[in-house]
Structure 1
């Protein structure tokens, strides 16, 4: 079995058109938590693919993406303090196609 790791991806994109493109890419890799923050369960291959796709869209001088590796997805239980709206952690679910 391929090991998945848990990542938090956050970004600051200076151009609205590029921000929308990054948002659309991110929706294919994880769950949207808030404005520019996603939680993702990724294999090493998917993580590399995500980084490559983001690098093709962003402008290095103007934009910033952080990919935070929280560790093995099955062993990490992120402790999140949520103020305001409630926070629901991402649960792994099977999708049958």
Structure 2
């Protein structure tokens, strides 16, 4: 079995058009939590692919993306305080391509 890691990806994109492109791209990699925050379960290959695709969109001097590695997805138990809406970790699901 390929090991997946749990990531939190957050971004600050200065241009609205680039922000929308990043937002649409992120929907293919994880679960949307808040305006510019996604929770992702990724293999090393998918993680590298995501970084490459994000770098193709952003402008390095104007935009900023943080990718926080929380550890092995099956073993990490994130301690999250959620006020308002319910917070749920990303569950492993089959993806049909």
Q: Fold-level match, TM-score > 0.5?
A: yes
CA distance in 1: counterparts of 2:96 and 2:66, whole angstroms: 31
> Which residue is 1:62 aligned to?
62
Write out the 4+ residue segments of structure 1 that deviate beyond 6 Å after TM superposition.
none
Residue 76 (structure 2) pairs with residue 76 (structure 1): yes
> Which residue is 1:24 aligned to?
24
CA deviation vs aligned residue, 1:57-77 (integer Å, no higher than 9, x gap): 000000000000000000001
Q: Shift of residue 88 of structure 1? A: 2.2
Which stretch of the first structure deviates more once superposed, 82-91 or 53-62?
82-91
1:21-60 maps to which residues of 2 (within 5 A)?
Answer: 21-60=21-60
Residues 89 and 64 from structure 1, CA distance in 2 versus in 1: closer, same or farther, beyond 3 angstroms? same
Number of residue pairs matched by the alignment? 97
> Which residue is 2:6 aligned to?
6
Q: Is the 8 A contact 2:7 2:42 kept in 1?
A: yes
The answer for unaligned runs of 5 or more in structure 1 is: none
CA distance in 2: counterparts of 1:95 and 1:54, whole angstroms: 21
